[in-house]
Amino acid sequence: MIHALDLRDLWGFGLPAISFFTFALRHYLEQTGPRILQHLRDINYELSIVVARLFIPLFSDSLPLHVVFHCWSLLFATGFSAVFRVTTALLLQFEENILLCDSTNFSELMNSMGSAYLRKESEVAAFYRKLSELSMVKSLRFAELKINESSLQTLRASFLEKQQSQSAATVQHLQTIDEDIQSIQNRIRSLFSYMTGLLSSIQSDIQLRQRFVSELINLQTIKTYLALDYDTIESALGHRINAKQSKLKAISGKWLSFGFLAEERRKEEEERERLELKLRSVSYELTENSRRIKEADLTIQQMVKRIDLEIAELEDCNLQRVSFQNQLSQLYKERSKVNKCDGM
């Protein structure tokens, strides 16, 4: 059967003749079912899907078995043009149903033709009448149409002629589109790489900022303790000075040896110097701590600004990425459209 009906183009790898089959079926539908063809365009349903869905299994999973046998008999008797005749007749049989379908409903209709329809004798008879009309030159409905081997060969010649005339320009156009696609893909990859690095930098800066915030909190805590130490030492020093003056007054009227007085003064002086030294040390630590707090606070402010700038830059990059992807999508659509036009 494959050789007798030349079905290699139908079942060959990659469906080599799918473009021609779609072109021929579109031609027949333009003559017999223009409303169907327009509706399929409106719901964005590719006619090539109909071709693949019905042609490849030769209707064996779309029609009741006894109808399939009749269609196959017609196929053996008249040639491959019978496939177009059966497909066209099927679509015309369900024209009113098709016009109410969206793309999903139409797919379901294609799958349920054999199980939900063409079960009644009247439906099958109507289908056979359409098959007969499509093969008659003088049919009242299709006076200018005859789906047979002769018309199919004429369409094949027309298809090849148009394909050859469009081939060179199409190839050049497709090359230009492919170059644009490659260029945008490279820019997207480069942009994505830059965005990845930028995101990593933002994450590192956020972690570093958090570290400085923790350090600032720690420095402020230390400052609080140092301030308490400073106040305590300063208070102790003041008490020590007052106590010394009171003690000197108390012993000034008493007779004491010069050595005892000198020893008392020395002890008081040492204690005062110790407290003053400690006070200076704490004061220095407070000053140093305040300086580090200012530096940490300034660093945090600078990092917040830098993070904000990096986030803004990342958002700009993302907008560029979206723009590139939209351009890429348009180019893919254009390439698909060119391929369809080339396949007619």
In the CATH hierarchy, which top-level class contains the domain 8-145? mainly alpha
- Are the folds of 8-145 and 174-244+262-342 the same? no
245 pLDDT higher than 70: no
Domain boundaries, the chain: 8-145, 174-244+262-342
Q: 5-26: per-residue pLDDT in tens?
A: 656 666 666 666 788 888 889 9
Q: Average pLDDT over the chain, rounded to whole? A: 79
192 pLDDT higher than 60: yes
Higher pLDDT, 165 or 318: 318
Q: What is the mean pLDDT of residues 84-88?
A: 90
144 backbone dihedrals φ, ψ, rounded to 5°: -100, 10
State pTM to two decimals: 0.47
342 pLDDT higher than 60: no
Query: Model confidence at 133, in pLDDT bands (50, 70, 90)?
Result: confident
For domain 174-244+262-342, say whether CATH 3.40.630 is its number: no
Phi-psi region of 58 (alpha: psi -120 to 50; beta: other; left: phi over 0): left
248 pLDDT higher than 70: no
Q: What is the mean pLDDT of residues 144-172?
A: 70
DSSP run (H or E) holding 102: none
At residue 4, the pLDDT reads 57
Query: Model confidence at 144, in pLDDT bands (50, 70, 90)?
Result: very low
CA distances from 52 to 58, 59, 175, 241 (A): 10, 10, 28, 107
196 pLDDT higher than 60: yes
Query: Model confidence at 333, in pLDDT bands (50, 70, 90)?
Result: confident
140 pLDDT higher than 50: no
265 pLDDT higher than 60: yes
Chain-centroid distance, C-alpha 214: 38
For every residue of 243-256, DSSP letters joined together read HHHHHHHHHHTS--
At residue 137, the pLDDT reads 40
